[in-house]
Structure 1
Amino acid sequence: MVLLEKSRTWILVLGLVSACSQAPLRPAANDRLSDDSTGTIVKDENGDKNDPIVDEKPDNEQSTDPVDEKTDPKKPDPGKPDDPIQKDPVVIEPVEDANPTVVSKTLKTIAAPRALNPMKGFLPFSGEYPSFPHSMEFFYMPLNEVVKGKGNYDFTSFDRELDAIAKRKHQAVFRFYLHYPGKGHGVPQYLISDGLKMITYSEYGGGQMPDYTDARLFTALHDFIGALGKRYDGDPRVAFLFTGLIGHWGEWHTYPQPQAMPTEERQRAVLKDFDDAFAKTRVLTRKPAAFLKGMDIGLHDDSFAFETLPTQSWHFVKQLADTGLSDTWKTAPIGGELRPEIQLTVWDSPRPSDAESFDECLKQTRASWMIAHQIFGGITGSRKDAALKATASLGYDFAVEGVKVSKSATSWSVEMTIANRGSAPFYYDWLPEVGVGGTTSVVAASGFKLSSLMPGQKATMKVTVPLKKAETNKTLFFRIKNPLATGIPLRFSNEEQDKDTDGWLSLGSY
C-alpha cells in the first residue's frame, strides 16, 4: 500500500537542458522581433507600439512609488542548488486538452516600475554599496593584466573580479583599456619589447598610448577578443561588456588628437571581432558608425544627459540619426554613463545649465542602464527620490495582466498575458518557468521570446503542465529565471510578486 500511495503522488519531471541554456541567452538578431505560436505579440490598442503602457487602475489598487527592494534572507529561495549556475527543467511543448475546465484570473499591477531589477538601472563601480538598489557593477581592467605574451593569457585577476561581483548577487559590466589618462597604459609588454611605439600625450592628466598604425597591435587585439569570447561568451556572471580597448579610457576617441585614432578599416575589424566572438553575451561600443549596420552590437553614451540631445553634431542622438542607427535599441542595448559632473544635480530644480533633461534623454535613446557611481556614495532626500524614480524608468518593465488555466485530468494548459510597460526591451531570452503547488518542481515554457516584447506591447506565453492525476486548489507560480543562481530575480510589476515565495510571481489557486 505504501508503494501504491507513493505512485499516486503528483510529480513534475525535472531534467537537464544543454549547457548553453545556463547562460544569459540572447536571441539571434534576425529572430528578435519575430512572432511565434507560443509568444504572440499584440499591439496595445490604446497607443503606439513604442509608447509605454499606462496602467489606469484605481489608485487604491496600486503602489505609486518605485520600490527600493532588498532580498529578505528569511524568505525561502526554493529550487536553488549549491552550484552557482542553476539546472533547467525539461521544456514541455504546449498541447491541447479535450474538454478542459477553464479558469481565468486578472492580476493586480502596480503603477510605478520597480527600482531593482536585473540588467537595468543605475550601477556603481565594483564594490559594496548597499545604500542604493542595483543589480550590476562596472569595472575597468588594463589589457596587460591578462595578456602576458603572444597567445599567453592569465585571467586570474579578471575571474576574481567576476566572482566577487557575483558573490554580492550582482552581474558585471566591464571594459578593457589600452590607455587610461592619469593612470598609465595597459599595452602588453611583449608588444613594446617587440618594437611597438608608444606616443606621449598630456590631455586629461597625460600618459602614453600605442601607435595605432602598427599592424602587430591589431593582430594581438584580434587574438585576445577571440580568446575572451571563447572563455566568457554566455557566462552568467557577465551582464554586458564594452568593446573598449581603443582610445582614452577605451572610449574610442583620442581627443584632441583625432589623427591618433586607428583607421576606419581597423576600427571596423575590431568591432567585427567582437561580433563574431560573442553570440550570447551582449556587446556595446561607444561610437555610432554606419559600418555597425549588420552587426549585433549595442551602443553606450558616456556623456548621458550632458551631450545626448541632438543640439550639436557630436551629441549622441545626432550621431545615431546621422549614421542610421536610431533604431538600434529595438534589437541591441543602449547603455552608458550619466555624466559625472551632473550625477547628483541633474534632477535639481532648477536644473544645472549644462545638464539636459534626463527624461527627454531617456525618451530619445531608450537606454536600459547607466553607470552613475556618485549616486551610490550616500545620496539623500529629494535627490535620492528622484534618482530612484529615474533608475526604475530605465529599460523594461514587465507586468502579468491575466492568467487563463485550462484544466483536464492529464494536464493544465496555462496562458499568461505579459505587458512591457517600460521604455526598452529585455535583451536576453531567459527561461520562463511555471510551478504547480510549489516552486521546487517546475516546467519551462517553450517558444517564448522575451526579447521580442517591445515597449507598449503584450505577449501571450503558453505552457502545458503534465499531471499524474487530476489536481485542484493548487497555486501556480511563475518566474523568468536569472541564469546566475545568486543574481537578482526578475520581478514583475504585480502586487502578487513575492507574495508567497521570494523571486516568484503567485498566479493564484486553481
Structure 2
Amino acid sequence: MSYREYVPWVLEYSDSTTTMDARIRLTFLLFTSCVLIVNGYKSATISFNQDTSVTLRNPFRGFMAYSLTTNPNTTSFPTSLEYQYINMSDVNPAQDQYDFSSIEAFANDAVQRGNHFVFRVVVDYPGMGSLVPAYLTQGAAAVTFTSYTSYGGGQSPDYNNTRLITAMTHLIAALGRAYDGDKRIAAIELGLLGFYGEWHTFVDSGNQPPFAPRSVQITILNAWNASFNITPLVNSQDEYQYWSSSDASTSQSGYARYKNIGRFDDNFGVQTYNASNPDDANNFYYRAIAAGDGDSWKYTMRGGEVQPTIQQDQFKNPTPSTVQPFLPAVNAVHTSWLLNDNLFEPASDFIRRTGCVSFHGLQLYLSNLYARSDNTTLYIQATIVNTGVAPFYYPLSLYASVDGGVSVVFSGTPNSYGGNSSTVVSATVPLSSTSSSSSVLRLWLSSSHALSNNPIFLGNNKMDASGGLNLQLQRNTSSGAVISERRHDGGAPPATDTETVASPSTFSSDGRTSVTGPQTSVQGGSSSAQR
C-alpha cells in the first residue's frame, strides 16, 4: 500500500423530484480529510466505522494509577486520570483551618500531563497509624481509638465522637467551596469513614473496631451532598450493606435521595458481579439492585479499584478461576474508571490490557452523517453512537464549523447511556460566499470540564490532534451550493470495510428526524495508535 490509506464509504443521495442511485465511492486519505460530496439542493448520507484506538486517553474514563508525581513509572500506559489518598491530618491541621496544598500540587501536576485528578480523604489507613488531626486527640472530648491488628494494624477512631464528626462536616464544606466545579478534578471519593475511607471496619482476624452508626453516616452524606453540586462524588459500594429499599427514606442513600453521589467498587474483580449467580448478595451488582439503586449509573458516576491482590491476574489469559471476568463485570456495574496501578508497569500482556481501556465509560463515535445544502447554508444531522457502558457525567456538546468560520452547536445532546445507544443531533451551519471551492466541515465534541491539553475524541478515523473530524466539501462558488465530484487519489480503493446506508431522511420542523441505516460494526483499536 502506498503512503495513502484508503477507507472507502458509499454515499447515496436524492432530491424531491428525481431519485438517483448515484453511488460515489469516497475515501479517507492518510494525513488528509474525508471528502463529503453533496449535489446542490440534494442530500447525502455517509456512514462511518468506529476506531477505538483514538479514544484511549479520552477524559473521565479508563484505568488510572496513583499520581505520576509519586509513581513516575506509570507513563507507558494510556490514562487520563491520576489518584491519591489525602490524609485528613494534612488538610485540617487545626480547628477550622485548612491546608489544601497537597491537593493543589497533585491536581496541578496531573493537569500538566493532560490528566484529571481523583482523591479520597482518609483518617484510618491500616499500617499507617492514625491520620486523625492531632488537635482532635487533645483537650476535652478528645477522640479515642480502638486498636486492631488486621492489614498491618492501626487505630480506628470513635465515630460517635461529636468533635470528629463536626470536623469532618466542616472539612467537607471547605472542600466544596474550593473544588466543586473545579475542572482539574474528575471526581471525589467520599472516604473519611472506616478502613481506607471505604466505609467498613472488616477484619480478617482479631478485634473488629466498631463502625460509624447509620445516623453518623447520614450526617456525612448530607454534608457531601450539600457541598457539591457539579463535581461528581462517589461512595464505597460497601455502604449498601447498611440500608435497604424497605427502610424509611431517611435511612436510604441511593440516587433518589442523593443526586450527585455515585458509587465506587473497591473490591472490583472479587465481589463485583457473579455471572453464574447474579443474585449473589456479596457482590456490588446485586447490592445495588437490592437497594433499588440498580439504575443509578445512568445519572451518577461509578468507578472503583481492581482488588490489589488480583491486579497481577486480572488480565492473564486465561483468567484464573478465582478472579471474576473483567468485561462481564464492567458491563454489569457500568464503571467509568478503575484504579489499577499494576497495569502501568511493563508486562507481556500490554496489548490485551490496553484493549480493555475501551470498555470503560463513554465511547462515542459518529456513525452516520446526513447533509443537505442550499447556496448559503449546510444542514446536518449526525448520529452519535455510544458503544461504551456509561454516559458522560458532565455537560457535553457537538460542534461544527466550515472553513474555520463560526462555531455552531448541534441541537440535542450527543450523550447517551451506552450499549450501542444512539442520539441524533442537528445543526445549521452558514456557508460563506467568499469561501474557496474546497471547504472543510469540522466536527468536534466539547465539554467545559475537559482539559485543553486532552480534548474529547470521537472514535473515528483520521481525527486531528485537537479532537476534530474534518470532512472536505466541494462547493460551487458562484451558486454557493455543494457540488458532486468523484474524489479519490487514483486507482481503486480496497473493497474492505465498505458500508451501504439507507436513503437519507429530510429534516422535520424541529430538526430532530432520525437518520435510519444499518448498525455499523465496531472496529477495535490497537495500542499503536495511542495519543
TM range (shorter): 0.7 to 0.9
Q: Show the counterpart of 1:34.
A: none
Tell whether the 8 Å contact from 1:288 to 1:299 is kept in structure 2 after alignment: no
Q: Show the counterpart of 2:156.
A: 209
- CA shift for structure 1 position 477: 1.1
Which whole-Å CA distance do the structure 2 matches of 1:453 and 1:477 have between them?
25
Amino acid at match of 2:368: G
Aligned counterpart in structure 1 of residue 312 of structure 2, from 335, 339, 344? 344
* 1:110 maps onto 2:50 in alignment: yes
Q: Show the counterpart of 2:338.
A: 370
Q: Show the counterpart of 1:27.
A: none
- CA shift for structure 1 position 431: 3.9
Structure 1 segment 457-476 matched on structure 2, within 5 A: 457-466=421-430, 469=433, 471=435, 473-476=438-441
- CA shift for structure 1 position 259: 5.7
Aligned counterpart in structure 2 of residue 200 of structure 1, from 130, 147, 159? 147
Partner of 1:474, secondary structure, is strand
Partner of 2:197, secondary structure, is coil
- CA shift for structure 1 position 161: 1.0
Tell whether the 8 Å contact from 2:59 to 2:450 is kept in structure 1 after alignment: no
Q: Show the counterpart of 1:285.
A: 235
Count of residues paired in the alignment: 409
Q: Show the counterpart of 2:472.
A: 508
Q: Show the counterpart of 1:158.
A: 103
Tell whether the 8 Å contact from 1:165 to 1:172 is kept in structure 2 after alignment: yes
Q: Show the counterpart of 2:213.
A: 263
- CA shift for structure 1 position 236: 0.9
- CA shift for structure 1 position 347: 2.8
Distance 1:469 1:366, change over 3 A: same
Amino acid at match of 2:425: M
Which whole-Å CA distance do the structure 2 matches of 1:209 and 1:338 have between them?
24
Structure 1 segment 421-436 matched on structure 2, within 5 A: 421-436=387-402
Q: Show the counterpart of 2:478.
A: none
The answer to which of 210-219 and 306-315 deviates more is 306-315
- CA shift for structure 1 position 454: 3.9
Q: Show the counterpart of 2:83.
A: 138
* 1:101 maps onto 2:41 in alignment: yes
Which whole-Å CA distance do the structure 2 matches of 1:189 and 1:394 have between them?
40
Partner of 2:147, secondary structure, is strand
Which whole-Å CA distance do the structure 2 matches of 1:453 and 1:358 have between them?
20
* 1:479 maps onto 2:444 in alignment: yes
* 1:174 maps onto 2:119 in alignment: yes
Q: Show the counterpart of 1:227.
A: 174
* 1:413 maps onto 2:374 in alignment: no
Tell whether the 8 Å contact from 2:266 to 2:304 is kept in structure 1 after alignment: yes
Amino acid at match of 2:50: I
Amino acid at match of 1:108: F
Distance 1:102 1:271, change over 3 A: farther
Aligned counterpart in structure 2 of residue 246 of structure 1, from 185, 189, 193? 193
Tell whether the 8 Å contact from 1:433 to 1:442 is kept in structure 2 after alignment: no
- CA shift for structure 1 position 450: 4.1
Tell whether the 8 Å contact from 1:246 to 1:253 is kept in structure 2 after alignment: yes
Which whole-Å CA distance do the structure 2 matches of 1:404 and 1:370 have between them?
37
* 1:360 maps onto 2:328 in alignment: yes
- CA shift for structure 1 position 448: 3.1
Partner of 1:204, secondary structure, is helix
Unaligned residue ranges in structure 1 (runs of 5+): 1-60, 63-73, 76-99
* 1:185 maps onto 2:151 in alignment: no
Distance 1:453 1:423, change over 3 A: closer
Q: Show the counterpart of 2:35.
A: none
Tell whether the 8 Å contact from 2:440 to 2:470 is kept in structure 1 after alignment: yes
Which whole-Å CA distance do the structure 2 matches of 1:342 and 1:206 have between them?
22
Tell whether the 8 Å contact from 1:411 to 1:464 is kept in structure 2 after alignment: yes
Q: Deviations over 1:134-188 (max 9, x none)?
A: 1111111101211122221111221111000101110011111011111222212
Distance 1:432 1:151, change over 3 A: farther
Higher radius of gyration, 1 or 2:
2
Distance 1:442 1:182, change over 3 A: farther
Partner of 1:185, secondary structure, is coil
* 1:328 maps onto 2:296 in alignment: yes
Tell whether the 8 Å contact from 1:417 to 1:458 is kept in structure 2 after alignment: yes
Amino acid at match of 2:57: L
Q: Deviations over 1:232-258 (max 9, x none)?
A: 111111111101111111111111366
- CA shift for structure 1 position 461: 1.7
* 1:303 maps onto 2:244 in alignment: no
* 1:236 maps onto 2:212 in alignment: no
- CA shift for structure 1 position 200: 2.2
Partner of 1:245, secondary structure, is coil
Unaligned residue ranges in structure 2 (runs of 5+): 1-26, 33-39, 245-251, 475-531
**Looking at both structures, which has the greater relative contact order when contacts are Cα pairs under 8 Å and sequence separation is at least 6?**
1
**Percent of pairs identical after alignment?**
28
Q: Show the counterpart of 2:514.
A: none
Q: Show the counterpart of 1:443.
A: 407
Tell whether the 8 Å contact from 2:413 to 2:423 is kept in structure 1 after alignment: no
- CA shift for structure 1 position 463: 2.7
Which whole-Å CA distance do the structure 2 matches of 1:442 and 1:215 have between them?
57
Q: Deviations over 1:284-313 (max 9, x none)?
A: 100353412221211111111111124543
- CA shift for structure 1 position 360: 1.7
Distance 1:212 1:145, change over 3 A: same
Q: Deviations over 1:187-221 (max 9, x none)?
A: 12221124122332221111222210112222111
- CA shift for structure 1 position 484: 4.2
Give the superposed CA RMSD.
Answer: 2.6
Partner of 1:299, secondary structure, is strand
Which whole-Å CA distance do the structure 2 matches of 1:336 and 1:149 have between them?
31
- CA shift for structure 1 position 410: 4.8
The answer to which of 197-206 and 140-149 deviates more is 197-206
- CA shift for structure 1 position 318: 2.4
